[in-house]
Chain A
Amino acid sequence: MSVRVYVPQDATALSLGADAVAKAIVGEAQRRGVEVRLVRNGSRGLFWLEPLVEVETAAGRVAYGPVRVPDVAGLFDAGFLEGGRPALGHPLSLGVTDEIPYLKKQERLTFARVGITDPLSLDDYLVHDGYRGLKHALAMAPADIVQAVTDSGLRGRGGAAFPAGIKWKTVHGTESAQKYIVCNADEGDSGTFSDRMVMEGDPFVLIEGMTIAGMAVGASRGYIYLRCEYPHAHRTLNAAIATAYARNCLGADLLGSGRSFDLEVRLGAGAYICGEETSLLESLEGKRGQIRFKPPLPAIKGLFGQPTVINNVITFASVPVILDRGAPYYKEYGMGRSRGTLPFQLTGNIKRGGLVEKAFGVTLRELLYDYGGGSYSGRPIRAVQVGGPLGAYIPASRFDVPMDYEEFAKIGGMVGHGGIVVFDDSVDMAAQARYAMEFCAVESCGKCTPCRIGSTRGVEVIDRLVAGQQPVKQEALLRDLCETMTHGSLCALGGLTPGPVLSALNHFPEDFKRHAKAAA
């Protein structure tokens, strides 16, 4: 009888040697004449334990990690395939996977299957409740699907947090022969990887979510705009889409419904600005990714001038569970106006980095210390950047704020895409502020002046401020510049770059005086 062994094919697991481990396990099994069935699953999101190898046993799946190639023979010696007591005593043994506290305490709705199933097996997907949401949706009137999404309280998970149902309703109510569903998979924010994990670990959930959107608003065509920095996700998505077509889950008369939906992946080309929805649409049309004026909204005039639903990966991937279990089920999670769950990503200088899906309301402190275990370096955590390169730096005094869109806005921060980048006390916050301006200068689309010119001037002003050249004047100038960028930029890139700059300046002013002091 062959034993099922899971070795993730997630990009992070691969970056730590998962392929070599998988090969070593297969080779060792052959040498010993035992049969194993290797499954390349997505990651459970416990990245400090990758490559995390799991074995199916009578007691459930048992995990070992982080496994390196030289550990493999020892695991066989300990009888890890039988899952008996000696194997559980192995130094790499983590016990039953589902009982690992980091996982057990999570509330996985969107990530329910990630790391558990074989991402490319449609049968696995179906066994684990896949396509139940779409089947329900196909039995509903389109307006009722939109209403369910509205009632769930789901807000855009890409960062802007706009209610998804409102967007869908506008597209639903706009007459047109051709409408589009566009998935923003240009996950460019540093400190985020939840989109990537879904695309690599459970691609069918994204396909199902987009198909439901198509049924809801009457769109027959969808595009996934994927950043080209994700070659693994690209391969997985294309393979999953091919399977979905072959099994009649996409294309004409899908699932025998008489409805059709076509889906295709398009690659970006390394421009951060293309994560902004109108830039993304320009790029999809084959143009420079320069942002558009709004209005008209993409919901009315979007891709190729047609009504378009544009949402990010996690937003679409959250739709199937809403249609399957019902809006009230989803809405039960969360706090205030932030309903449901958000996959938080613990990154940077963190001991136990990974993915934590929790209902809104969890505090930064719980995420950083209960889950994350403090910094990777072992030094005190000094600042965290939440919400990507445009998110504010949060000092330790604010770690008790709950993760909630409105509560975070009150302290001048943003939850964004749920990425949390941790810095220890060796960080130079003036350098981080400078980097924020530099990044904006590199990535500006050039359409509006505050962003295009302001970011370059911002780098220069910070350099002078840090060098101690008329510091009082420079600081006033920097604040003035930030105000111009905030209020005068056309989109969030120029408009939010002052967030990290000013939060660094306000919470860590001493870092801007360090060099001047040293010179004096």
Chain B
Amino acid sequence: MKGQLQEQPIRPMPAARPLAAAERVKVLEVTARLRTLPGALLPILHGVQDALGYVPPGAVTLIAAELNLTRAEVHGVVTFYHYFRTAKPGKQVLQLCRAEACQALGAVALEQHVKRRLGVDFHGTTADGRYTLEPVYCLGNCACGPSLMLDRELHGRVSADSFDALVGVAS
């Protein structure tokens, strides 16, 4: 379709999808619980992501109002940190280490294998909605790499074969 794109008038960013009622309840529950902490925003964003799996863009206005911050301040924090995601992840999150100690044991080749097997790039979710693949820079398992974390479970000495066994890929 290249070359056929019409120039678009500059428009403000579309409003985020409004929060579903159940999500709204969760977000308010988290803010009510944590808002009095000094420096409450990070604990609240963690709380929201723990409850919903992500920080929905629609939650930004609500969190901002609850903490008496601007939307820009909250949006700025959400997008600064790699850990917070703004799209719903798959059933399980797979964090693959890209750092030097794992590189020294073949992490680059493993990364290619993982992407091929799952059919996604980093930050992508598999077609069946099962896994979201994310890069991570060090899991502190540097003597036994390459390493990955599946949800909160750490795996060391990962090979192409052991990866396939872990995610249950039929060969």
Contact = CB atoms under 8 A, between A and B. Distances in A.
Interface of A: 11-12, 14-16, 47-48, 50, 187-193, 196, 228-232, 266-272, 283-290, 304, 345-350, 353-354, 376, 385, 389, 419, 421-424, 427, 432, 435, 439, 442-443, 445
A370 to B, nearest CB: 16
A229 B42 CA distance: 15
Contacts of B76: 288
Interface of B: 38-43, 45-46, 73, 76-77, 80-84, 95, 99-105, 136-145, 147, 149, 152-157
20 contacts: A11-B141, A16-B157, A187-B140, A190-B137, A191-B99, A192-B142, A193-B143, A229-B95, A229-B140, A266-B39, A267-B43, A268-B81, A269-B82, A286-B42, A287-B41, A304-B38, A347-B101, A347-B143, A348-B105, A445-B80
A190 B136 CA distance: 11
Q: Taking chain B's interface residues, is the majority helix, strand, or loop, or is none over half, making it mixed?
A: loop
A267 B46 contact: yes
B104 A423 contact: yes
A15 B100 contact: no
B77 A288 contact: yes
Nearest to B44: A286
Contacts of B142: 190-193, 345, 347-348, 353, 419, 421
Nearest to A352: B143
Nearest to A393: B100
A366 to B, nearest CB: 17
Nearest to B76: A288
A271 B80 contact: yes
B39 A284 contact: yes
Nearest to B79: A288
A442 B134 CA distance: 14
Given A193-B143, A348-B145, A350-B143, A14 B82 contact: no
Contacts of B149: 229
B138 to A, nearest CB: 5
Given A191-B142, A266-B43, A348 B136 contact: no
Given A14-B154, A288-B77, A354-B143, A270 B101 contact: no
Contacts of A443: 137
Given A191-B142, A348-B104, A349-B104, A269 B38 contact: no
Given A389-B100, A421-B100, A421-B101, A12 B83 contact: no
Contacts of A284: 39, 42
Which has the most chain A C-beta neighbours within 10 Å: B101, B103, B145?
B101
Contacts of B46: 228, 267, 269
A427 B145 CA distance: 16
Contacts of B81: 268-271, 289
Nearest to A376: B105
A15 B101 contact: no
Contacts of A11: 139-141, 154
B138 A12 contact: no
A16 B144 contact: yes
A267 B105 contact: no
B165 to A, nearest CB: 13
A231 B97 CA distance: 15
Contacts of A230: 140
Contacts of A385: 100
B80 A289 contact: yes
B153 to A, nearest CB: 8
Contacts of A350: 143
A120 to B, nearest CB: 18
A191 B41 contact: no
Given A190-B138, A284-B39, A376-B105, A15 B143 contact: no
B143 A188 contact: no
A422 B136 CA distance: 20
A190 B153 CA distance: 19
A459 B62 CA distance: 39
A385 B153 CA distance: 28
A188 B138 contact: yes
